[in-house]
Structure 1
C-alpha cells in the first residue's frame, strides 16, 4: 500500500472511530435485538464477554489506526522506531480526545481504562507494522 493511500485510509478510519465513539451503544445493540435496547451495554458490571468485546473493538480501532498512520508516514525515510513512536503518539492522542468528547455525553462515559487500552492497542498496531516492514 502506498503511503498516500495509507494516509487517506487513516483519515477515513479516524472519522469512523470518532463517529462510533459518540453513538449510543444501546441504540446500536438494539439494531441486533428486536426485543428492545440492550441493558447495561458498556458498563463495568457487564459480563466478561461484553467487556472483552469492547476491549477488542478498541484494540482493533486504535491498532489499525496506528498501523495506517505508520504506513502513511513511512515514505518520509524515518527510522522504524521513530515512525512507530509518531504513530503511537497520534493514535493515543486521538484516543484521549475521544474520551474527552465522551465525557459530557449522556449515553457515553469517559474512561481512563479505555484510554489505556487505546494506547496499548496503538503500540501493538505500530509495533506489528514495524515488524512487517522490517521483514520486507
Structure 2
C-alpha cells in the first residue's frame, strides 16, 4: 500500500496527513496565538458604559473559579488538538502526540503572555488548555480521525 503521495505506507497505519490537514492546524494555531495576545476586559465588573455593565453582570453570574475566557481556552485547545490528530496519525501514539503538542503550545503562549502588560501567565489557563487538548484529541479519535481506524484497515485489504 502507498499513501496519497505514492510513498510506501507502514502496515496498519492510516493514510498520512495531507497538506490541507497541516494548513488547517497551523492556521488555527495562528488564530489562537493572535487571540491570546489581544487585550481582554478585566474582571472588575460594572463598567461605566452599557457594554461594561453587561460584561460585569456576566462575570458576576459565572460560578466561582470560572473565568470569562475559560470556555475559549477549553474549546480553542480542543479544536487545535483535534486538528493535530490527522497530522500526527502516522505515529503510533499520534493522538497523544497531538494532545501533547497542543498542551505545549498553550503553555508556551502562557509564557509569552507573562511580560505583556495587558495579559498574564496563569496556571489555571494552562490547566484548562490541557483539558481541552485531551478532550479534542479523544473526540477526534472517536470520530475516526486517529491512527488505523477500521475504515483504514478495510481500504488496505
TM-score, normalised with respect to structure 2: 0.67
SS of the residue aligned with 1:15? helix
2:23 corresponds to 1:12: no
1:37-95 Cα deviation digits (max 9, x unpaired): 748x7xxxx42539354211001110000001111222x2x34xx01110011000110
**Cα separation, partners in 2 of 1:37 and 1:118, compared to 1, 3 Å:** same
Alignment of 1:41-80 (within 5 A): 46-49=59-62, 51=66, 53-74=68-89, 76=90, 78-79=91-92
SS of the residue aligned with 1:106? coil
Offset at 1:112? 0.3
TM-score, normalised with respect to structure 1: 0.76
2:108 is matched with: 97
1:14-39 Cα deviation digits (max 9, x unpaired): 11101111100139xxxxx9x38748
1:110 is matched with: 121
**Segments of 4+ moved more than 4 angstroms:** none
Structure 1 gap segments, 5+ residues each: 28-32
How many residues are treated as equivalent by the alignment?
121
Structure holding more helix per residue: 1
